[in-house]
Amino acid sequence: MYNNSNDLEIFVERLFANQRKTKEVVELKNEVLSNLEARVSDYLENGMEYQSAISLAIHNIDNIETLIDDNQKVYSYRLRYELVQSTLIYSLLAWICTIPFRFVANGIWANMLFLCIVILSGAAYLSMSRHLKRYDKQTAIINAGKLAKWCKWAWWLWGAFIVVMWAYTFIIQFGSDVWFGRELRIHGPYSFYISFVPYALPLTSIMIPQLIHRASKLTTQLEVKES
């Protein structure tokens, strides 16, 4: 119950208890407190009892997640559904692309891995499709700003991973030739194929940053529009 001059301050402190004490959050907390105090003053001037004024002022404030910068309220089930669908599509494409690599051991393992992902994501997609109407309006709060940063970092890390893998593969294949100054040669189509596969396989990992990028776009497309 709120029955003294510090009621609103106590309420606001509890409301922001789990938030980091950044400058923006402190400013927002002060703004919320000021607005609540103004509401209560208006209600009291109109003859409302103090307890009723307090209850009415805080009635629709159950959390402040949507007020924090970059936080968005999204349709969470539809977001997961779309991501599972994208996983199915990307893994299916990767599985098809790695079929020609099955002539080498690493290619077999990669192709089998993507086949497993196709089966699992396909089963999850079919299961979620059955419950889509039931949970279509399910919502959650997502920090779109952090997700956008993760998206950028995912692409940077993926690019660094590709560079490292290609450099490692080149050193393994041609390091001794470069060291001793020998001419780099590829003898025939099969030799080219064997040399090419280790460079192509790491590229299939692009589905990871692509999924994060997809999630970032979906937070905007599936944002709940408050009336």
User: What digits encode the pLDDT tens for the residues 183-226?
Assistant: 877 788 888 888 899 999 999 999 999 999 999 999 888 888 76
Instruction: Find, among 36, 46, 42, the residue nearest to 2 by Cα.
Output: 36
Residue 164 lies in a domain: yes
Sign, CA dihedral 160-185-109-105, equals negative
Q: How far, in Å, CA of 224 to CA of 215, rounded?
A: 15
Show the CA angle centred on residue 41, arms to residues 37 and 46, nearest 5°: 150
pLDDT single digits (tens) 61-117: 666 655 565 677 889 999 999 999 999 999 999 999 999 999 999 999 999 999 999
Task: Tell me, yes or no, whether 23 and 45 share the same domain.
Answer: yes
Angle between helices 188-200 and 144-179 (to 10 degrees): 150
Task: Tell me, yes or no, whether 123 and 22 share the same domain.
Answer: no
What is the total residue count of the chain?
227
Task: Tell me, yes or no, whether 40 and 128 share the same domain.
Answer: no
Contact yes or no for 81/127 (Cβ under 8 A): no
Residue 114 lies in a domain: yes
Residue 2 lies in a domain: no
Task: Tell me, yes or no, whether 109 and 217 share the same domain.
Answer: yes
Beta strands 139-143 and 71-75, pairing class: antiparallel
Task: Tell me, yes or no, whether 204 and 96 share the same domain.
Answer: yes
Task: Tell me, yes or no, whether 13 and 96 share the same domain.
Answer: no
Please give the pLDDT value at position 31.
78
The total of structural domains in the chain comes to 2
Q: Is 177 left (phi over 0), alpha (psi -120 to 50) or beta?
A: alpha
Of the residues 67, 93, 117, the one at which a domain ends:
67
Please give the pLDDT value at position 223.
84
Domain that holds residue 40: 7-67
Task: Tell me, yes or no, whether 176 and 92 share the same domain.
Answer: yes
